[in-house]
């Protein structure tokens, strides 16, 4: 029996509606226990377990709606995330241009300890649609990713199941190092100072 | 076999109504007939089973990462935790600072009551279909929270989450999930000490208890803060410094760890850092735990983590003295039969079973469930369910100093009262009158008063 | 175990601490050594357990005073309390869990840096029973249990059909055991050689090599003690005035290997 807990990772998926976040996730996860509440509470939740090196990790995927009325939930949604995935539609330049705003919004709401090193992964979805129609070039996307903290970049097609597995493997890996990044060598033995005897020496050491 | 089952008693002095079928509850539903544990046998990956459970407990971080769940495996609960967090956050408003905002405390959905507690950075949720009150559920999750505190301390939890809201607290709770599970198991069975936030003592003749206490006091050493002899979760004797008392909720955690798991009852000497939250939630004490007899344990607590060998000597000396004075046997006998007395053995006519709490001593007494009820888990659970209902009724917030309630269900009447100095709940026959109830209350109080030195530990050994 | 000698054998108390990641088998090793038992699914240790066990050697008896510590992260900073006055330590890892070996390395470093200078450390790679290629290690244990039989047969599974019927029920565990080892014997040997540690691979489950570890430590103890005596490092712990029959200092009291106690004024500076 293993007593080692599996690493629990919170992954937040952001992006304009219509870019295919949900399909992307559904393509990847174990659907058995997923929820369908996005319209009512602003988010859906999925999970998936996988191996990263010799760690077993469980990913808790938060698929949030972009809608206004759930704006105030941003803090709750983003708080404590181990990785943030920014998704856009390669055929929709507007959704690509929105990435910066999503990233900034996330950093504000999640308030990670070290924003510079917080792991983001960018996913350009819907590459199944013919290359001629692709409005955001791979080069452009990669440049953007490089310029904004060297974010890993993947092109995927949820529909054709292209690139999804690879993307999530990196997401898991980066999230895991974020989760385990600090070795808390704290002193876990807070002592309580108790003076029992009235005749104890006045020395307070 | 639902609810409680009665069986006839031989005692001619008490007119017990003839045996009928068991009680069939109307308002409150209970798991019926299952002798085995709620937790152990269930298929943790079966969604239907999960949803059908009567009670749930969830503990999560403010990021929505799971820390503990009574039912279901990780895959199942991960989504639920996200949903719970979202619903809760919806009511928390915009700010990061949870102090000033409106927090969702409870709500009802269908026949389920949801209760949420906030102990930043943790969120605790209890869900129940059993008709328990909000206060009861809140008390239950408080017990679970203090268990987490006893493992980590409040300071450590805060420190570890500072700037690290993504922290997975389960990494630090390794090995202690069984304590949480044991607590929830007790809660689901219906736990008198948790319901009443009080301790139970082993019933011993006063002189015997005094001798034991004297021995403890005589071997007290400089680093000793508390010394306890405990048998099967019942306190036999305790010594403490004049300035510091022991809080029953803390002892409840300690007894749970010792007697509801096998972590410390292996004949080995244990040296365990433990936080007693009601005593001081910011730091650790250290407990020397040693089982010296079948179900009896000596616990020596110090604030000094280096005091092990000193306390080891104390333990040796105490045990030597206890053996020399032939006190081990009385300790074993005190708890040998589970509960050492039955209602038919004491002058409380009409009473089939009762639960009495002395508020002053923060201790309770409860006789054997036999012979009026079968000693089965389901029977006990049903009985405790009635006591919970009574408890909820007398503690409902509508003023009054002395509150009394009673109701009849099938072939029994259940009565409860709450006064400034005591709480009393009991079961009696169906054809009862107010006069009989009053007489019954008086009879129990009189008997308790007469025997209080044997029933309660009053004062304890103080140094 | 020689109980025939007429001269009273001196008893030396030796403090021993077990360190290592959670679930590597520390408690199981101790249980095997102290009671010659094994429990499947043993529960994690909370805090620490203290046990004693005597080990009879040819010319002396060693009484081990053993701290079986919990391996969880949250107890890590308590470890100094247990190893501070220890003369010996078992640093345990699980040969099927590479992380536990990395952790073992950290423990060795910590002991070297913080524990008593002469502390005898045994590096122990446990759970040998989970691995198939232990046929070279002859078991010194009397516990020839089912598990043992399986691992021996797994080597023969390719050979003849005779073995197949015996293996029929074991097929699952054979598949498991084949690639279970993640820390090579050589890796453990290398670390031990680098750091001057005793080294054993053991199985608390079958008992293999368990007693050998403790015996090896027991045998090393007096050597260290007489070396230290020669170097005068025991100066200051003058309360141990007694000597045993061989002229060695009586170790029944706790030996303070930390010479700073020689000051006698204690830690308080006021």
Cα–Cα distance for residue pair B416/B355, rounded to 1 Å? 9
Chains that touch C (3 or more CB pairs under 8 A): A, B
Q: What's the pLDDT tens digit per position in C129-139?
A: 998 654 444 44
Q: What's the pLDDT tens digit per position in A69-96?
A: 677 788 888 999 999 999 999 999 999 9
Q: What is chain B's percent helix, strand, coil content, to nearest 5?
A: 35, 25, 40
pLDDT on residue C213: 95
pLDDT on residue B214: 96
Mean pLDDT of B78-102: 74
Q: Which chain A residues are within 8 Å of C99, Cβ to Cβ?
A: 54
Q: CB B175 to CB C50 under 8 A?
A: no
Q: Which chain B residues are within 8 Å of C254, Cβ to Cβ?
A: 309
- List, in order of start, the domains of chain A with CATH numbers: 7-179 (3.40.50.300)
Burial category of A132 from C-beta neighbours within 10 Å (exposed 0-12, middle 13-18, buried 19 and up) = exposed
Distances (CA, A) of B244 to B216, B240, B304, C241: 17, 7, 16, 41
Cα–Cα distance for residue pair B235/B254, rounded to 1 Å? 11
The residue among B82, B155, B173 with the most chain A CBs within 10 A of its CB, best to mutate, is B82
Q: What's the pLDDT tens digit per position in B212-240?
A: 999 999 999 999 999 999 999 999 999 99
Q: CB C47 to CB B271 under 8 A?
A: yes
The residue among C18, C34, C46 with the most chain B CBs within 10 A of its CB, best to mutate, is C46
CB pairs under 8 A between A and C: 31
Locate C245 and state its tokens: 């029959």
Please provide residue A4's backbone torsions phi and psi, each rounded to the nearest 5 degrees. Answer: -80, 130
Distances (CA, A) of A152 to A47, A180, A181, C191: 22, 19, 18, 37
- List, in order of start, the domains of chain B with CATH numbers: 38-195 (3.30.450.70), 200-337 (3.30.450.30), 343-455 (3.30.450)
Least confident segment among A18-22, A102-106, A190-194: A190-194
- When pLDDT is cut at 50, 70 and 90, the band that residue B91 belongs to is confident
Q: What's the pLDDT tens digit per position in C258-268?
A: 333 333 333 33
Radius of gyration of chain B from its Cα atoms, rounded to whole angstroms: 23
Q: CB C43 to CB B262 under 8 A?
A: yes
CB contact at 8 A, A178 and A84:
no
pLDDT on residue B62: 92
**Which are the contacts of A142, defined by CB distance < 8 A and separation ≥ 6?**
A153
CB contact at 8 A, B221 and B310:
yes
Distances (CA, A) of B226 to A98, A105, B287, B321: 63, 53, 9, 18
CA angle B183/B387/B9 to nearest 5° reads 110
Cα–Cα distance for residue pair B43/B49, rounded to 1 Å? 7
Cα–Cα distance for residue pair A20/A43, rounded to 1 Å? 14
Pairing of strands C198-201, C120-126: parallel
For B414, the enclosing helix (H) or strand (E) is strand B412-418
Q: CB B270 to CB C43 under 8 A?
A: no
Interchain contact B101–A (C-beta under 8 A)? no
Q: Which chain B residues are within 8 Å of C49, Cβ to Cβ?
A: 266, 268-271
Please determine, for residue A166, whether its predicted confidence score (pLDDT) is greater than 50: yes
Q: CB C78 to CB B305 under 8 A?
A: yes
Q: What's the pLDDT tens digit per position in C13-34?
A: 999 999 999 999 999 999 999 9
Higher pLDDT, residue B155 or A161: B155
Higher pLDDT, residue A139 or B410: A139
Percent of chain A with pLDDT strictly greater than 90:
34
Mean pLDDT of B262-266: 87
pLDDT on residue B130: 92
Of B264, B268, B308, the CB nearest to C51: B268
CA angle A58/A62/A65 to nearest 5° reads 165
Q: CB B222 to CB A193 under 8 A?
A: no
Q: Which chain A residues are within 8 Å of B152, Cβ to Cβ?
A: 188
Pairing of strands C88-94, C11-20: parallel
Cα–Cα distance for residue pair B45/B139, rounded to 1 Å? 29
Distances (CA, A) of B24 to B335, B370, B389, B392: 32, 19, 15, 20
Q: Which chain C residues are within 8 Å of B312, Cβ to Cβ?
A: 50
Among residues C60, C55, C99, the alpha carbon closest in space to that of C210 is found at C55
Mean pLDDT of C179-196: 92
Q: CB B174 to CB C81 under 8 A?
A: no
Helical segments of chain C, H only: 26-35, 79-83, 98-114, 146-154, 162-167, 171-178, 185-195, 210-231
Sign, CA torsion C76/C81/C84/C88:
negative
pTM: 0.82
Cα–Cα distance for residue pair C13/C251, rounded to 1 Å? 6
- List, in order of start, the domains of chain C with CATH numbers: 11-139+181-259 (3.40.50.300)
Query: Least CA distance to C41: which residue of chain A?
Result: A1
Of B61, B170, B171, the CB nearest to A80: B61
pLDDT on residue A72: 76
The residue among A3, A57, A180, A185 with the most chain C CBs within 10 A of its CB, best to mutate, is A3
Locate B48 and state its tokens: 């239907």
Q: Residue B121: is the preceding peptide bond cis (ω within 30°)?
A: yes
CB pairs under 8 A between B and C: 57
Q: Which chain B residues are within 8 Å of C79, Cβ to Cβ?
A: none
The residue among C26, C33, C49, C66 with the most chain B CBs within 10 A of its CB, best to mutate, is C49
Q: CB C182 to CB A2 under 8 A?
A: no
Q: CB C72 to CB B270 under 8 A?
A: no
For the packed helices B248-259 and B177-189, what is the interaxial angle rounded to 10 degrees? 110
Q: Strand, helix or coil at C49?
A: strand
The residue among C20, C44, C69, C77 with the most chain A CBs within 10 A of its CB, best to mutate, is C77
Q: CB B272 to CB C46 under 8 A?
A: yes
Q: CB A75 to CB B175 under 8 A?
A: no
Q: What's the pLDDT tens digit per position in B284-299?
A: 999 999 999 988 999 9
Q: What's the pLDDT tens digit per position in A89-111?
A: 999 999 999 999 999 999 998 88
For the packed helices C185-195 and C98-114, what is the interaxial angle rounded to 10 degrees? 10
Q: CB C46 to CB B308 under 8 A?
A: no
Percent of chain C with pLDDT strictly greater than 90:
47
CB contact at 8 A, A33 and B47:
yes
Higher pLDDT, residue C138 or C217: C217
Mean pLDDT of A42-47: 87
Summary mean pLDDT of chain B = 85
Place of tokens 């002229």: C247
- Going by the DSSP 8-state scheme, the letter that residue C100 receives in this structure is H
Query: Least CA distance to B156: which residue of chain A?
Result: A188
Q: Residue B371: is the preceding peptide bond cis (ω within 30°)?
A: yes
Query: Least CA distance to B276: which residue of chain A?
Result: A192
Interchain contact B233–A (C-beta under 8 A)? no
pLDDT on residue B288: 97
Please determine, for residue B145, whether its predicted confidence score (pLDDT) is greater than 80: yes
Least confident segment among A159-168, B55-64, B312-321: A159-168
Q: Which chain C residues are within 8 Å of B287, Cβ to Cβ?
A: 47
Q: Which chain C residues are within 8 Å of B284, Cβ to Cβ?
A: none
Among residues B228, B240, B218, B223, the alpha carbon closest in space to that of B309 is found at B223
**Which are the contacts of B168, defined by CB distance < 8 A and separation ≥ 6?**
A5, A7, A8, A179, B61, B65
Cα–Cα distance for residue pair B426/B440, rounded to 1 Å? 9
Q: Which chain C residues are within 8 Å of B306, Cβ to Cβ?
A: 81
pLDDT on residue B66: 93
pLDDT on residue B11: 37
Q: Strand, helix or coil at A144?
A: helix
Of A4, A54, A203, the CB nearest to C23: A4
Among residues B1, B333, B57, the alpha carbon closest in space to that of B180 is found at B57
Please determine, for residue B98, whether its predicted confidence score (pLDDT) is greater than 90: no
Please determine, for residue B89, whether its predicted confidence score (pLDDT) is greater than 70: yes
């Amino acid at each position: 029996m293993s007593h080692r807990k599996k690493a629990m990772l919170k992954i937040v998926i952001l992006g304009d509606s219509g870019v295919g976040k949900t399909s992307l996730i559904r393509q990847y996860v174990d659907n058995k226990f997923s929820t369908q509440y996005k319209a009512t509470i602003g988010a859906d939740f999925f999970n998936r377990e996988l191996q990263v090196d010799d760690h077993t990790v469980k990913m808790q995927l938060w698929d949030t709606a972009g809608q206004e009325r759930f704006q105030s939930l941003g803090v709750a949604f983003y708080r404590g995330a181990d990785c943030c995935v920014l998704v856009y539609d390669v055929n929709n330049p507007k959704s690509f241009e929105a990435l910066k705003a999503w990233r900034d919004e996330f950093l504000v709401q999640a308030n990670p300890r070290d924003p510079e090193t917080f792991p983001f992964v960018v996913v350009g979805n819907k590459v199944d649609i013919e290359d001629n129609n692709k409005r955001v070039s791979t080069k452009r996307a990669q440049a953007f990713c490089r310029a904004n903290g060297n974010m890993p970049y993947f092109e995927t097609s949820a529909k054709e199941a292209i690139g999804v597995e690879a993307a999530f493997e990196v997401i898991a890996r980066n999230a895991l190092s974020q989760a385990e990044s600090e070795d808390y060598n704290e002193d876990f033995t807070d002592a309580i100072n108790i003076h029992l005897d009235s005749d104890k020496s006045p020395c307070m050491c | 076999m639902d609810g409680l089952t009665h069986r006839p008693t031989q005692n001619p002095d008490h007119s017990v109504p003839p045996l009928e079928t068991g009680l069939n509850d109307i308002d409150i539903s209970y798991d019926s007939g299952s002798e085995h544990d709620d937790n152990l046998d269930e298929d943790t990956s079966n969604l239907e089973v999960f949803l059908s459970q009567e009670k749930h407990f969830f503990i999560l971080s403010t990021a929505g990462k799971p820390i503990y769940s009574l039912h279901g495996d990780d895959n199942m609960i991960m989504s639920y935790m996200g949903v719970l967090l979202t619903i809760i956050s919806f009511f928390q408003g915009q700010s990061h600072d949870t102090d000033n905002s409106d927090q969702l405390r409870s709500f009802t959905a269908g026949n389920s009551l949801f209760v949420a507690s906030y102990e930043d950075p943790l969120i605790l949720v209890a869900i129940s279909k059993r008709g328990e009150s909000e206060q009861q559920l809140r008390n239950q999750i408080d017990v679970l929270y203090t268990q987490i505190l006893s493992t980590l301390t409040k300071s450590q939890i805060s420190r570890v989450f500072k700037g690290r809201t993504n922290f997975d607290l389960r990494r630090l709770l390794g090995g202690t999930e069984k304590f949480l599970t044991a607590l929830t198991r007790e809660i689901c069975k219906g736990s008198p000490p948790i319901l009443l936030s009080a301790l139970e003592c082993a019933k011993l003749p006063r002189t015997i208890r005094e001798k034991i206490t004297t021995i403890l006091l005589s071997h007290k050493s400089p680093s000793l803060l508390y010394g306890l002899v405990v048998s099967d979760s019942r306190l036999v004797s305790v010594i403490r410094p004049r300035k510091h008392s022991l809080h029953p909720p803390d002892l409840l955690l300690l007894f749970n760890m010792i007697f509801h798991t096998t972590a410390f009852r292996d004949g080995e000497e244990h040296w365990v850092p433990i936080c007693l939250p009601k005593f001081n939630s910011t730091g650790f004490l250290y407990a020397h735990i040693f089982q010296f007899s079948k179900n009896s344990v000596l616990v020596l607590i110090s604030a000094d983590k280096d005091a092990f060998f000193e306390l080891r000597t104390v333990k040796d000396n105490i045990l030597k003295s206890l053996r020399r004075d032939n006190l081990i046997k009385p300790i074993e006998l005190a708890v040998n039969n589970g509960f050492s007395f039955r209602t038919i053995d004491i002058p409380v006519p009409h009473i089939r079973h009762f639960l009495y709490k002395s508020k002053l001593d923060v201790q309770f007494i409860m006789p054997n469930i036999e012979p009026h009820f079968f000693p089965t888990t389901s029977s006990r659970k049903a009985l405790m369910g009635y006591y919970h209902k009574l408890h909820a009724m007398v503690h409902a917030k509508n003023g009054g100093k002395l509150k009394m309630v009673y109701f009849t269900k099938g072939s029994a009447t259940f009565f409860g009262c709450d006064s400034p100095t005591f709480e009393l709940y009991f079961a009696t026959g169906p054809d009862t009158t107010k006069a009989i109830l009053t007489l019954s209350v008086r009879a129990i109080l009189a008997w308790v008063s007469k025997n209080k030195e044997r029933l309660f530990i009053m004062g304890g050994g103080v140094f | 175990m020689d109980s025939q000698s007429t001269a009273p054998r001196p008893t030396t108390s030796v403090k021993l601490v077990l360190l290592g990641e959670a679930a590597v088998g520390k408690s199981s090793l101790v249980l095997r050594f102290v009671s010659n038992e094994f429990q499947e699914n043993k529960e994690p240790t909370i805090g620490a357990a203290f046990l004693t066990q005597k080990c009879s050697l040819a010319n002396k008896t060693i009484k081990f005073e053993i701290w079986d510590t919990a391996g969880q992260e949250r107890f890590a900073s308590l470890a100094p309390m247990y190893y501070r006055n220890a003369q010996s330590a078992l640093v345990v890892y699980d040969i099927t869990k590479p992380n536990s070996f990395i952790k073992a390395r950290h423990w060795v470093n910590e002991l070297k840096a913080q524990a008593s200078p002469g502390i005898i450390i045994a590096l122990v790679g446990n759970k040998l029973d989970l691995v198939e290629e232990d046929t070279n290690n002859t078991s010194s244990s009397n516990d020839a249990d089912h598990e043992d039989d399986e691992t021996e047969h797994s080597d023969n599974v390719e050979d003849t059909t005779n073995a197949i019927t015996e293996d029929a029920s074991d097929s699952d565990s054979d598949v498991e055991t084949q690639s279970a080892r993640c820390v090579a014997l050589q890796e453990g040997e290398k670390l031990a050689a680098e750091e001057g540690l005793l080294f054993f691979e053991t199985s608390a489950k079958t008992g293999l090599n368990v007693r050998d570890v403790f015996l090896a430590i027991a045998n090393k103890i007096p050597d260290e003690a007489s070396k230290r005596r020669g170097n005068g490092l025991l100066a200051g712990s003058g309360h141990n005035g007694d000597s045993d029959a061989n002229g060695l200092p009586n170790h029944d009291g706790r030996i303070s290997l930390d010479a700073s106690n020689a000051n006698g004024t204690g830690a308080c500076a006021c």
